[in-house]
Amino acid sequence: MTYEKSVLNIAIAGLGVVGSEVARQLIRRNDALSAAGGSRLQLVAVSARSKDSDRGFSMDGIQWVDDARDLAKIDDVDLVIELIGGSEGVALDLTRAALAAGKHVVTANKAMIAHHGGALAKLAEENEVALTFEAAVAGGIPAVKTLREGLVANEFSRVAGILNGTCNYILSRMEKTGEHFDDVLVDAQKLGYAEAEPSFDVDGIDAAHKLTILAAIAFGHTPHFEAVKISGIRDVSAVDFAYARQLGFRIKLVGVAEPGRVPRMETCLLPLSSQLAKVDGVLNAVAYDGMPIGSVLSVGPGAGAGATGSAVLADVIDVAAGRACLPFGRPMAALSDGSKAKNGNGPDTAFYIRLTVIDQPGVLADVTRILQEHDISVESLVQQGRAPDDVVALAMTTHECPASALEAALSALSALSCVKASPVSMPIVPSEQEG
């Protein structure tokens, strides 16, 4: 796709954390950014909920539009940057209208792409315009480009990632300082990492949106969010971090996509030796395992104004330079329908289990008997301290077993009189492919 005019007229919808940063950069660093794309990048129109906020840039010469959907009707606009958010509503209406009107669209909206990416990519293809969303996955990390362009020659056996900055920030701080989940979440919100709806972050939904997009590109199908198995970070407690460390692991919210297997976004244990286990704070990381390359790891800031703005502007420059790729790397006719994929549960998995039990003789025998009855073999087991006749935590890791066997064992364990709270379990994600 080539862009032949020497000026690219841009409209921004949404002037929050990301939109304001993109506008500021476009204005303050206009010469450098325009030179990178080979066309003058001209911000000509904007829309947001409130006109009067001070966003750190001058509105002189920029048209204000009350209804963001009207940006698609401005003839002069060549490219719309959608930074409102939300899978439906104004963001989707605007994106559809802009593509249909022959305007390029750059968006950071993973929810919209995860739910409607296939239909939107079709619309972009029909109208011969670009639809790009680098900022939607892992913020500032060029995760989409890496998968879709740099590693395009590979056959992927796994794409795994830490894809939510808010969760990684919360888990890292809880592990380091023992602070409570809710207090750390408030800080992530102040820092501009969190979604408007915080449950999207902490319940794994935002990260699952991103995993949906990565899986679609890696395995050549349209995005299908409904296929992803999702659990968040709410159930992790301080004691799990300590036990995990003692057993040789760290706890992270990790997304895993593998061919023919249900994509999973789950709070997991990662071996201390794994590259992903070392990624802390708001950093995100994606580990791509492919043939013939082996394993590649990308690490970088996954959220925040600067990181996300950087990715949005990279897409804008690609459009200006006429090198924007097809949204999912292939023409629509070459993508299979993600909703028709027949994914299985894949191979057996090792698990971490934590039980809250009465500290008295015979408890361990009862627990191991139930595991044995379900053909689950224990790899390691730890219990710290003593609390005769009071409750203690008993943590263990298992060898690989079917998820169904684990579920049945957990339900039998819950029924034991010595088990005093619902068992906590997390899968163990193996390290990246070696070599």
Q: Mask of contacts with ligand LTNE7NMQ, 111-150, x by CB under 6 A?
A: ----------------------------x-----------
Contact between residue 191 and residue 304 where contact means Cβ atoms under 8 Å apart: yes
Distance of CA 203 to the CA centre of its chain: 12
CA-CA distances (angstroms) from residue 214 to 41, 57, 98, 114, 424? 29, 34, 24, 10, 29
Determine which residue in the list 46, 48, 163, 213 makes contact with ligand NAI, applying CB under 6 A.
48
Token representation of residue 77: 């606009």
Query: Rounded CA gap, 210 and 346, in Å?
Result: 21
Closest Cα partner for 113 from 201, 214, 198, 262? Answer: 214
> Least distance (Å) from ligand NAI to the CB of residue 195?
6
CA 49 to chain centre: 26
Neighbouring C-beta atoms of residue 31, cutoff 10 Å: 10
Q: Measured between alpha carbons, how far is 377 from 403 in angstroms, rounded to an integer?
A: 13
Question: How far is Cα 352 from Cα 267, in angstroms, rounded to an integer?
Answer: 11
Structure-token match 């949204």, residue found: 327
Shortest approach of ligand NAI to residue 24 CB, angstroms? Answer: 13
Q: Which of 108, 184, 185, 276: binder of ligand NAI (CB under 6 A)? A: 108
Residue 134: name its binding partner from ligand LTNE7NMQ, ligand NAI, Na ion, none (Cβ under 5 to 8 Å by kind): Na ion
Among 21, 78, 82, 134, binds Na ion (CB under 5 A): 134
Distances (CA, A) of 221 to 112, 121, 158, 257, 340: 16, 12, 15, 13, 10
Residue 162 binding partner per list ligand NAI, Na ion, ligand LTNE7NMQ, none, with a CB distance cut-off of 5 to 8 Å that depends on partner kind: none
14 is in an annotated binding site: yes
Residue closer to ligand NAI by CB (options 80, 418) is 80
402 counts as binding ligand NAI under rule CB under 6 A: no
Cα angle 326, 315, 287; round to 5: 75
Instruction: Judge contact between 106 and 133, C-beta under 8 A.
Output: yes
Among the options 176, 210, 229, 252, which is catalytic? 210
Q: Which of residues 239-298 bind ligand LTNE7NMQ (CB under 6 A)?
A: none
Q: By CB under 6 A, tell whether 139 contacts ligand NAI.
A: yes
Cβ count within 10 A of residue 327: 28
Instruction: Considering the complex, state which of residue 290 and residue 301 has its C-beta at the smaller distance from ligand NAI.
Output: 301
- 113 lines the binding site for Na ion (CB under 5 A): no
Residue nearest ligand NAI, Cβ-based: 16
Catalytic, 210? Answer yes
Least separation in angstroms between residue 426's CB and ligand LTNE7NMQ is: 20
User: To the nearest whole angstrom, how small is the minimum distance from the Cβ of residue 81 to ligand NAI?
Assistant: 10
Q: Which residues are catalytic?
A: 210
Binding-site ranges for ligand NAI (CB under 6 A): 13-19, 47-49, 68, 83-85, 90, 108-110, 135, 139, 192-193, 195-196, 303-304, 308
Q: Which residues are annotated as a binding site for L-homoserine?
A: 195
Question: Which residues sit at the interface with ligand LTNE7NMQ, rule CB under 6 A?
Answer: 139, 164-166, 193-195, 201, 206, 302-303
The annotation places the binding site at 13-20, 110, 195
